Amino acid sequence: MSNPSNPRGLTATPAESEHATALIAALNMIPHIEGGYFVETDRSALVMPNPYNPTAADPTRTLSTLIYYLLTPHSPIGRFHRNKSRTIHLLHKGRATYVLIHPDGSMETYVVGHDVAKGEKLQWIVEGGDYKASFVDAGEECLISEVVIPGFEYTDHNFMATRDELVSLIGEEQAQEWDWLLSKN
């Protein structure tokens, strides 16, 4: 790993490829605050009581939400973040690596892709409370859908705020390997 701040050598290109630009336009996607692009395609009309912190101002959640999410060579990283809700992921095309940090500090990494004989995943679940990050290798794209249950709300989402937080969860040695996936904001 030659560059500790970006050990896989991921770089942004000056502009999206023609194919990525066409896909982003066809799906009406916009830049996502985590990195990559997204569009919400469904928000259930059914609601349920807010299971996290019901208040008079925030008493309910939609039953579920659905988005497309795309990583590209221009925007190859989804930074460490977590949701309170469970997220079901479904792969449409491409490959990516996912890094999960569970609340107990244990970690999981795996590749999502179409080569299931080699252990790549077509579907995967990230439980509420787990931090996740994702990235594509240079020149790659990855298009997925995410179903969030109960439905996604920004008030139920947060980025891993600091490197100190990362160290407290996984220790200094592993933090050195993965801190390049922290939010830059």
Segment 3-23 shows an average pLDDT of 63
Write down the pLDDT at residue 5: 42
User: Tell me: the pLDDT tens digits for 107-131?
Assistant: 999 999 999 999 999 999 999 999 9
Q: Kindly indicate the confidence band of residue 2, based on its pLDDT and cuts at 50, 70 and 90.
A: very low
Confirm whether 43 is domain-assigned.
Answer: yes
Global confidence as pTM:
0.89
Secondary structure class of 155 (helix, strand, coil): helix
Confirm whether 57 is domain-assigned.
Answer: yes
- Residue 96: which domain range? 18-160
Backbone angles phi, psi at 29, to 5 degrees: -80, 155
Q: Is 19 exposed, middle or buried (0-12, 13-18, 19+ CB in 10 A)?
A: exposed
Segment 58-84 shows an average pLDDT of 96
Contacts of 59 (CB under 8 A, 6+ apart): 49, 50
Confirm whether 178 is domain-assigned.
Answer: no
Q: Give residue 101's identity as a one-letter amino acid code.
A: I
> What CATH number is attached to the domain comprising 126?
2.60.120.10
- 140: tokens are 């790659």
Secondary structure class of 60 (helix, strand, coil): strand
Confirm whether 180 is domain-assigned.
Answer: no
Confirm whether 78 is domain-assigned.
Answer: yes
Q: How many domains does the chain have?
A: 1
Confirm whether 7 is domain-assigned.
Answer: no
DSSP structure string for 77-140? EEEEEEESSEEEEEEEEE-EEEEEE-TTS-EEEEEESS-GGGT-BSEEEE-TT-EEEEE--TT-
